[in-house]
């Protein structure tokens, strides 16, 4: 059913422990295990989900393109902040849990909402598997686990299930883990990002544009490597129903978190570029470790950065596990996902968390069984594509509000500013699709088409339920 005018509030889920939503879209009360997020935790959720394990590999990944990759960082940052502003404006209108799903469904109807929910759900659980497998590489620095395939697999599964258990314990504990992990991981990151500037040597930078081809091509190529690292700007919007004063705090947390993450990315990469010789950085498997060793000498940097990476990825898995259940929960409330996804306990959609961690675990086992990293890398690129589906639908919802002429949906004073920001966000999402590559788009479309069958089943059952 296509929603028009005011947006109806979803009916409370069975077994929910939170009270009915307040006018701002957040729960009216807390329980002992369920607690609404304030601005600091909502900001930590955004930053923690954007800055996962990718930051520890990014400098080496983009070094082959030269320092022109910093231009790609700048372009991506502008696009990500524009997208963050769009999410903030949309959350002001509709601060319910679900983010892009809610915005797409309110503007374009059930099918668009379902596509947003389905694509975002795929993004979250595949990303969780990617993070867990990548984290094993850092764990191996501290505790040898990579010597045997099944030992590494067990370690990856453990890294997935620990954050899931924190989610099962309730949103109170999710917020606590997210805040602590975000603070802890920023200590070593800021050490390199800020401290590295004092050890900066321009001779280490290498060429501005290395290799053949045009400068624009180099920017696009390096941007394709960086795209996955910027996923997560929608985190606060997706969990808006658990954020206090969501109309005000979701937008602020999204912009502050995205800006903070971008600064850490830019400063960290620039510092590593300036402290590690370019020819060494191109072949580095632990660029931040090399930077710390170059700054202070010795070999303790590898241990410190490995520990920071584990903390970072655990916090990222914690946040993504919550988000992976929130969108199906919102869709289940509207009859677009199986009703079992709409059950909440201690403020958390526990069935959604359970299904997500099981799917991510199966993908992890499959990855280790295949013995090939190429299939997994393709799936990681698929998440870049699938994430752009809800991004583009949310941006299109903002375009719809701006051009529809509905006075209750548009602030005339900010119309021009919103139009410019939305245009940048739309161009950014299309660039994300292009950067994912042909193979990823092909695989991603197959995932989306599978979702159409699920939607047909759910849509066919709704009249009977009514």
- pLDDT tens-digit series, residues 347-383: 778 888 889 899 989 888 887 887 655 555 666 777 8
Q: What is the mean pLDDT of residues 425-431?
A: 85
Residues 6 or more apart in contact with residue 64 via CB below 8 angstroms: 210, 211, 282
Query: What was the pLDDT predicted at 26?
Result: 40
CB within 8 A of 71, min separation 6: which ones?
219
Give percent of the chain above pLDDT 70. 80
Do residues 427 and 94 lie in contact, with contact meaning Cβ atoms separated by under 8 Å?
no
Q: Alpha-carbon Rg of the chain, whole angstroms?
A: 21
Instruction: Tell whether the model's pLDDT for residue 13 goes beyond 70.
Output: no
Residue from 144, 274, 152 nearest 205 by CA: 274
Digit-coded pLDDT (tens) for 143-196: 777 667 788 888 889 888 888 887 777 656 566 666 666 666 777 777 788 888
Give the mean pLDDT of 297-314: 75
In the prediction, which pLDDT does 18 show? 31
The residue that leads in pLDDT, 26 or 324, is 324
pTM reported for the whole predicted model: 0.75
Q: Which residue has the higher pLDDT, 225 or 258?
A: 258
Least confident interval from 6-20, 302-316, 321-335, 372-386: 6-20
| CB-CB contact of 206 with 212 (8 Å) | no
Query: Rounded mean pLDDT of 20-36?
Result: 43
Rounded-to-integer distance, Cα 152 and Cα 1, Å: 47
Q: d(Cα 298, Cα 8) in Å, to the nearest integer?
A: 61
Confidence of residue 20 (pLDDT cuts 50, 70, 90): very low
* pLDDT one-digit tens code per residue, 57-109: 778 878 888 888 888 888 888 888 888 888 888 888 887 777 788 889 988 99
């Amino acid at each position: 059913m296509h929603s028009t005018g005011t947006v109806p509030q979803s009916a409370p889920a069975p077994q929910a422990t939170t009270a009915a939503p307040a006018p701002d879209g957040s729960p009216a009360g807390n329980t002992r295990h369920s607690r609404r997020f304030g601005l600091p935790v909502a900001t930590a959720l955004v930053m923690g989900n954007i800055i996962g394990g990718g930051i520890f590999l990014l400098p080496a990944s983009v070094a082959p393109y030269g320092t022109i990759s910093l231009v790609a960082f700048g372009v991506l940052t502008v696009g990500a902040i524009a997208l963050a502003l769009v999410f903030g404006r949309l959350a002001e209108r509709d601060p319910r849990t679900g983010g892009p799903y809610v915005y797409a469904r309110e503007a374009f109807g059930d099918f668009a909402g379902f596509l947003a929910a389905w694509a975002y759900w795929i993004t979250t659980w595949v990303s969780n598997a990617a993070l867990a497998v990548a984290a094993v590489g850092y764990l191996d620095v501290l505790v040898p686990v990579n010597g045997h395939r099944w030992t590494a697999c067990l370690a990856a599964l453990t890294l997935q299930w620990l954050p899931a258990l924190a989610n099962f314990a309730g949103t109170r504990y999710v917020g606590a883990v997210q805040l602590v992990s975000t603070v802890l991981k920023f200590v070593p990151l800021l050490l390199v990002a800020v401290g590295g500037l004092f050890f900066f040597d321009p001779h280490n930078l290498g060429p501005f544009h290395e290799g053949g081809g045009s400068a624009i091509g180099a920017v696009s190529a390096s941007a394709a490597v960086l795209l996955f690292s910027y996923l997560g700007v929608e985190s606060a919007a997706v969990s808006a129903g658990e954020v206090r004063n969501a109309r005000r705090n979701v937008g602020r947390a999204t912009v502050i978190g995205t800006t903070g993450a971008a600064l850490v990315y830019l400063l960290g990469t620039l510092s590593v570029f300036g402290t590690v010789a370019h020819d060494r950085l191109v072949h580095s498997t632990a660029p931040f470790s090399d930077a710390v060793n170059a700054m202070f000498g010795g070999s303790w940097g590898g241990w410190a950065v490995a520990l920071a990476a584990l903390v970072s990825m655990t916090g990222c898995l914690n946040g993504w596990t919550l988000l992976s259940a929130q969108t199906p929960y919102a869709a289940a409330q509207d009859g677009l996902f199986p009703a079992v996804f709409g059950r909440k306990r201690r403020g958390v959609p526990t069935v959604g968390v359970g299904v997500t961690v099981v799917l991510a675990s199966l993908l992890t086992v499959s990855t280790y069984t295949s013995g090939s990293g190429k299939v997994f890398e393709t799936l990681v690129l698929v998440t870049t594509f699938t994430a752009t589906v809800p991004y583009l639908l949310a941006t299109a919802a903002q375009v719809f509000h701006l051009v529809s002429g509905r006075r209750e949906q548009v602030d005339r004073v900010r119309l021009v500013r919103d139009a410019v920001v939305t245009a940048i966000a739309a161009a950014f999402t299309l660039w994300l699709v292009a950067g994912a590559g042909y193979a990823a788009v092909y695989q991603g479309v197959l995932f989306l088409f599978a979702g159409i069958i699920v939607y047909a089943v759910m849509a066919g059952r709704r009249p009977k339920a009514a």
